[in-house]
Amino acid sequence: MADAPDTERQAVEPDAKEVLSVSQLNDRIASVVQDTPALNGVRCIGEVTDLHQNSTALYFTLTDGDAELPCMIWANRYREMDADLEDGTEVILEGDIDYWVEGGKIDLKPWEVIVVGDGDQAAAVERLRSELEERGWFDDEQKQQPPAFPERVGVVTSLRGDARYDIQNAIHEQDPTVDILVKDATVQGSNAPTSIANGIHHLDRSEDVDAIIIGRGGGSDSNLQAFNTERVAEAIFTANTPVVTAIGHTDDRLIADQVTDVATITPTAAGEYIANSRNDFLASEIEPLEQQLDAAYETFQQEHEHEAELAEAVEEVTAPEGLPPVYYKAAIAVLLVLLLLITALWLEVI
């Protein structure tokens, strides 16, 4: 290319000074996609995930476990198809790759759908779920209660993910004194199960960690597959430290959420759950107890002072009239001495 003549270079490279609007650039991408024969009339096999439908169209993701492709079928076209799609269905799709100019997104618009059967991934997850249920890994008796006032919380998540900051901020908003250990983990892809499991084992071995949160933001079903693996389930189940899952999703039933001690909907919810609000605890428990203690003592003290006053009054009332007995005793003693003295003088002893 370096030796190509100027005229040829202009034909393959955009004008360096040209500034395109987003619409113009997206139009250009769309025309490339539409004019590329290799992207028209393609056939692709994969598993349906994240399927949802509205009145106009059916949306889903086609995945083979390692990669995924968004797909869209118009509702009226889907009604004419002899296909009943649901999450986990394995299909062969035939259609065109389309570029949505306004949204800047590529998708496959199939005109033909051939259902191959239940997807391998979905079937494998269901098999594992049944097996773990039989082993009793989901039983309530196996669940541990995380402490109300943890001193140190371990978090297994991606160091660079939003989930990490959501958890961290939520914990410190509740209680700024809690120490947090964030163990970096790959939370998506083929390495994720091992990475997450190792993170749990590492924090569990640390005696200082009072609870472990496993977190990640939302994602498609295939992005969340690590949380449907036996490796992650086993790490959660065998942990001596209570584990809380915070895997951003809505209605998915992940195996990790079933085996964990506490499942929360979002990373923020996990942070709020794991640390009690220090200020709320002071206001709702400690301050009322301080007031009760002071009130109980005040009543106790008043009663005892009243009793003391009564006892004094009773003593005054019951005391004999006249001089105190000591005076009488002294007078008797003096009289006895005088009597002895007189007797001695009378007998001329002295």
Partner 1 sequence: MAKDSEIHDRLSRVEEIIEQLDADECNLDEGTALHEEGQELLAEVREILDEGSGEVVELE
Q: Does 105 bind partner 1 (CB under 8 A)?
A: no
With contacts defined by CB under 8 A, name the span among 107-115, 136-144, 149-157, 320-328 that binds partner 1: 149-157
Q: Which residue has the tokens 């169209």?
A: 57
Per DSSP, 282 falls in state: I
Q: Based on CB atoms, which residue is closest to partner 1, 190 or 299? A: 299
For residues 260-289, which are near partner 1 according to CB under 8 A?
278, 281-282, 285-286, 289
Q: Based on CB atoms, which residue is closest to partner 1, 112 or 280? A: 280
| Closest of 69, 73, 71, 70 to residue 57, by C-alpha | 73
Q: What is the DSSP string of 11-39?
A: HHS--TT----HHHHHHHHHHHHHT-GGG
Q: How far is the CB of 162 from partner 1 (least distance, A)?
A: 15
Candidates 9, 74, 117, 149: give the one binding partner 1 (CB under 8 A). Answer: 149
First to last CA, the chain: 154
219 to 248: interface string for partner 1, x by CB under 8 A: ------------------------------
Q: Does 177 bind partner 1 (CB under 8 A)?
A: yes
Q: Does 210 bind partner 1 (CB under 8 A)?
A: yes
Task: Please list, in sequence order, all residues whose beta carbon lies within 8 angstroms of the beta carbon of residue 64, skipping any fewer than 6 positions away.
Answer: 45, 46, 47
With contacts defined by CB under 8 A, name the span among 18-26, 187-195, 303-311, 331-339 that binds partner 1: 303-311
Q: Does 181 bind partner 1 (CB under 8 A)?
A: yes
Measured CA to CA, the distance from residue 175 to residue 172 in angstroms comes to 5
Candidates 37, 176, 322, 324: give the one binding partner 1 (CB under 8 A). Answer: 176
**Beta pairing partners, 246:** 215, 264
> String of b and e for 249-273 (b: at least 16 CB within 10 Å)?
beebebbbbbbbbbbbebbbbbbbb
With contacts defined by CB under 8 A, name the span among 21-29, 182-190, 265-273, 337-345 that binds partner 1: 182-190
104: left (phi over 0), alpha (psi -120 to 50) or beta: left
Q: Does 312 bind partner 1 (CB under 8 A)?
A: no
Measured CA to CA, the distance from residue 273 to residue 249 in angstroms comes to 17
The residues binding partner 1 (CB under 8 A) are: 147-152, 159, 168, 172, 175-184, 202, 208, 210-211, 278, 281-282, 285-286, 289-290, 292-294, 296-297, 299-301, 303-305, 308
